[in-house]
């Protein structure tokens, strides 16, 4: 167990080292343009931004919005998904909603969000919640639908009531699906937050990207991009760990 974890971490380190090496080689030998800096000046710039607490502020601003919207979207999405999966009338009624809205991407909703909520926190939290909620609903409902028939029948022939079947069989059996939906939603949240901050924000990584473009601060752009990648990577790992902790023992594929 310990050795396999050590191997995983060693793999990550080596993988990232290789990525930066390829980047270095590409910028030094292939592209050779001021518009494509090599890793070193970018790291130096990142260090300056960290020392001035600027990078932390932007990261914090973006992550706070992601987390708030993500939690709000999950809190709304999970019960709706459970209801859709459990009750046929609810499914018939609400499936058109989910099937309709999931084709309107959050990015397309930015304009209305700004009109409704202004460029303050609310519009961003709304957009993240929006992008989260449908993914979570669909995956939760699918999870409820996938509960094995024999699991339910076994409970019935042990005397379970409808409520007990829901709480003690359907719900726990659905947890891996819920977590998987949340994991996908989290990835979408990163896409959405950058787009939202590009258009309407006073801070955050998206805003940082936009400002850096205006002033042609190419290193800043790269710092923001790398921050996004690393944050996304770290968040996804946390989710993988969660899924493992809650569900991994019965679904080793996740």
Partner 1 sequence: MGFVALDGVGKVFRGRTGAWEAVRDFTLSLDEGEFFCLLGTSGCGKTTVLNMLAGFEAPTSGRIMLDGRPVSGPGADRGVVFQGHDSLYDWLTALDNIAFGLRLRGTPKAERRATAERFLKMVGLAGQGAKHPSELSGGMKQRIQIARALANDPRILLMDEPFGALDAMTRAVLQGELSRIWAETRKTVLFITHDLEEAVALATRIGVMKRGPGGTLKAVVPVDLPFPRDRTSDGFMRVFREVHALIHEEIHGAH
Binding region for partner 1 (CB under 8 A): 148, 150-151, 153-161, 164, 168-169, 172-173, 175, 247, 249-252
53 vs 251, beta carbon nearer partner 1: 251
Cβ at position 249, least distance to partner 1 in Å: 5
67 vs 160, beta carbon nearer partner 1: 160
Radius of gyration from C-alpha coordinates of the chain? 22
Contacts of 74 (CB under 8 A, 6+ apart): 132, 133, 136, 182, 185
Cβ at position 153, least distance to partner 1 in Å: 6
CB 35 within 8 A of CB 218: yes
Cβ at position 82, least distance to partner 1 in Å: 16
CB 69 within 8 A of CB 132: yes
40 vs 250, beta carbon nearer partner 1: 250
CB neighbour burial string for 194-207, b if at least 16 within 10 angstroms, e if fewer: bbbbbbbbebbbbb
Residue 24 CB-half CA count within 13 A: 10
68 vs 156, beta carbon nearer partner 1: 156
15 vs 159, beta carbon nearer partner 1: 159
CB 202 within 8 A of CB 153: no
Cβ at position 67, least distance to partner 1 in Å: 27
173 vs 228, beta carbon nearer partner 1: 173
Cβ at position 139, least distance to partner 1 in Å: 18
CB 50 within 8 A of CB 224: no
Give the C-alpha distances (Å, rounded to integers) separating 100 from 48, 55, 152: 46, 38, 31
Cβ at position 168, least distance to partner 1 in Å: 7
């Amino acid at each position: 167990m310990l050795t396999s974890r050590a191997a995983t971490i060693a793999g990550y380190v080596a993988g990232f080292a290789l990525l930066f090496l390829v980047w270095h080689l590409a910028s030094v030998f292939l592209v050779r343009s001021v518009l494509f800096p090599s890793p070193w000046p970018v790291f130096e710039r990142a260090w300056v931004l960290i020392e001035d607490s600027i990078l932390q502020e932007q990261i914090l601003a973006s992550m706070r919005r992601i987390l708030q919207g993500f939690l709000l979207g999950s809190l709304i999405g999970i019960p709706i998904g459970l209801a859709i999966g459990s009750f046929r009338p609810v499914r018939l009624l609400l499936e058109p909603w989910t099937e309709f809205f999931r084709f309107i991407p959050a990015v397309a909703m930015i304009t209305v969000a700004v009109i409704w909520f202004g460029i303050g926190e609310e519009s961003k939290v709304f957009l993240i919640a929006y992008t989260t909620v449908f993914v979570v609903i669909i995956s939760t409902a699918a999870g409820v639908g996938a509960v094995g028939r024999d699991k339910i029948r076994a409970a019935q022939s042990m005397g379970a009531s409808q409520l007990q079947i829901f709480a003690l069989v359907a719900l726990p059996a659905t947890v891996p699906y819920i977590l998987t939906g949340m994991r996908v939603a989290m990835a979408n949240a990163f896409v959405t937050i950058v787009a939202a901050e590009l258009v309407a924000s006073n801070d955050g990584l998206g805003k940082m990207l936009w400002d850096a473009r205006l002033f042609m601060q190419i290193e800043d752009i790269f710092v923001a991009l790398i921050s996004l990648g690393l944050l996304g990577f770290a968040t996804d790992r946390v989710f993988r760990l969660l899924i493992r902790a809650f569900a991994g023992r019965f679904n080793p594929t996740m």
